[in-house]
Amino acid sequence: MRALHDKYGPVVRISRTVLSVADKDMLKQVLVTDDLRKGTVYDNTAFGKPNMFNLTDRAAHRHTRRVISPAFSIRYLAGLEPLLESVIDDMVEKVEGDISAAEASGNPEAVIDLWHLTQAVALDAMGECAFGETFGMIKNGSHPLPKRLTEGVRRGSIFFTNGFLGKLVKMSGIKMADPYIVNFMKDVIHKRMTAEAPRKDILQILIDAAKSEKSSEQLSENSVMGETMLFLFAGAETTSNSAAFALIALLQEREKFEKLREEVDTLEYNDDNKNFSYESLKNAAYLNAVINETLRLRPVTAAGLERIAEQDFVLGQSYHIPKGTTILANMYVAHMNPEYFDEPELFKPERWLEGYEPAPAVDAFYPFSAGSRNCIGKNFALQEMRLVIATLIKKFDFDTIPESMKDAEDIRHFITLTIWKDSFKAKVSRRKDL
């Protein structure tokens, strides 16, 4: 088999049976055109129940996605907007309260952990929009979930990335899922299953499917449990981390911060509650450019996506791939290829604006995967990130803390990218020119 081993080569052999692919046309072939099946690494996830992330069976995944997809349609998500806005209101109230407390002690700035704040927002957003009640993370600031989730992701990554170890653990019968989180979610589901009246949110779609008498619309109780576990992990460890990474980049690049603030100041509020409207954020060019650039540099899929050849095939019209070969779709390498993105190591939101030259290779940009296995929660995640970033930029001023900026450089990958210290603090004050 022919293989290139330079830094940005299209195909790199990792072992006799594993290849890493970073060429944009080959990525499209693997993920979209040929839509290769997910690899065996997904059998080793720590969720403990089947869900759309770890299902490798095509028919089972197709059925589950068809049943759940109405919960993530644009129209349905629009109906959840008031719930998401209430979480944003809690975030603003919390930050203003911390600033007031600092001012009372003679300090105009409050030291706030933005990493924890975005995680709290994500958890409460999931609570409100998916589980029927807030977790109270923003207001109370304490709950066993965040620490348990972080530990679970770090522990689970050992099994997820080490196929042999993962198989041994499964064969041993050891439960990889945290029993606290499992029991917590069981209680949430039981409460909703026995509720007198339905509630319009994401979990209700799953509850209705569990109760459906039509096989084409049914989900098993195991599937409901698996999907709610997935929502919880995804809400805490992907959207929140991405929003925090965007804030860190903006504080590192103050001219980008100011440029975003100029745009944010022109965006319309909803008249009744003074939150940003969905339409204004959806069409905010520079805000979306900041998010795209963050997802390019700090992609959730930084470790790549594993697929497996179910039969012999030709990759990129050049490489004969034998049946059983594992292919790692390496998005991060594609995102950092200078042939696809000008000065790829720099944070340049401008590259995503209309008219920028050289234009970015949008067909090499896969922050939410692609094909039949693309992220079903993409629209929800994007809107949450837009609301968090735009609201904080609009209402508050920020000063960096050198130690925290240094700590933010220590980035590790578990199942997702994270800051090793699991913390990023900044000085936050009321906006002076508002």
Which residue from 93, 154, 141 is spatially nearest to 113, judged by alpha carbons? 141
Closest by CA position to 132, among listed 222, 207, 50:
207
Q: How far, in Å, CA of 3 to CA of 318, rounded?
A: 10
Strand 37-38 vs strand 11-13: parallel, antiparallel, or unpaired?
unpaired
pLDDT of residue 89: 94
Cα angle: 379, vertex 381, 383; to 5 degrees: 70
Q: Which residue ranges make up each domain of the chain?
A: 34-300+367-430
The H or E element containing residue 425 is strand 425-430
Which phi and psi (to 5°) does residue 27 adopt?
-60, -45
How far, CA to CA in Å, does 147 sit from each of 119, 121, 384, 388? 11, 15, 21, 21
Handedness of CA 201, 207, 213, 216 (dihedral sign): positive
Averaged in consecutive runs of 10 residues, what is the pLDDT profile of the chain (434 residues)? 45 78 95 92 66 85 90 83 90 97 96 94 87 81 68 57 52 60 80 81 86 85 82 78 97 97 91 78 96 96 88 92 93 93 97 96 93 90 95 97 96 82 95 85
Q: Is the dihedral of CA 296, 299, 303, 305 positive or negative?
A: negative
Q: Whole-structure pTM over 0.85, yes or no?
A: yes
pLDDT for position 40: 77
Tokens 């939101």 found at: 349
The pLDDT assigned to 25 comes to: 95
Rounded Cα–Cα distance for residues 74 and 14 (Å): 40
Report the phi/psi class of residue 106: left, alpha or beta, with left for phi > 0 and alpha for psi in -120 to 50. left
pLDDT in tens, 326-376: 999 999 999 999 999 999 999 999 999 999 999 999 999 999 999 999 998
| pLDDT value of residue 4 | 36
Quick one: pLDDT at residue 57? 87
Tell me how far apart the alpha carbons of residues 341 and 124 are, in angstroms, rounded to a whole number.
35
Report the distance separating Cα 364 and Cα 316, nearest Å. 15
Residue keyed to tokens 């170890």: 165
Tell me if residue 367 falls in helix, strand or coil.
strand
- Tell me the CATH number for domain 34-300+367-430: 1.10.630.10
User: Which 3 state secondary structure label does DSSP give 408?
Assistant: coil
pLDDT for the residue numbered 142: 67
pLDDT tens sequence across 83-123: 889 999 999 999 999 999 999 999 999 999 999 999 899 98
DSSP 15: S
Cβ atoms 292, 284 nearer than 8 A? no
How open is the CA angle 77-195-214, to the nearest 5 degrees?
Answer: 70
Average pLDDT, the chain: 85
Which residues are known binding-site members? 375
Which residues sit in the known binding site for heme? 375
Q: What is the pLDDT of residue 56?
A: 85
Residue type at 40? T
Q: How far is CA 319 from the centre of its chain?
A: 33
Residues 6+ apart with CB under 8 A from 179: none
Exposure letters 212-230 (e unless 16+ CB within 10 A, then b): eeeeeeebeeebbbbbbbb
Residue 259's Cβ-side half-sphere holds a number of Cα atoms within 13 Å equal to 15
226 Cβ neighbours under 8 A, 6+ residues apart: 47, 48, 49, 50, 51, 54
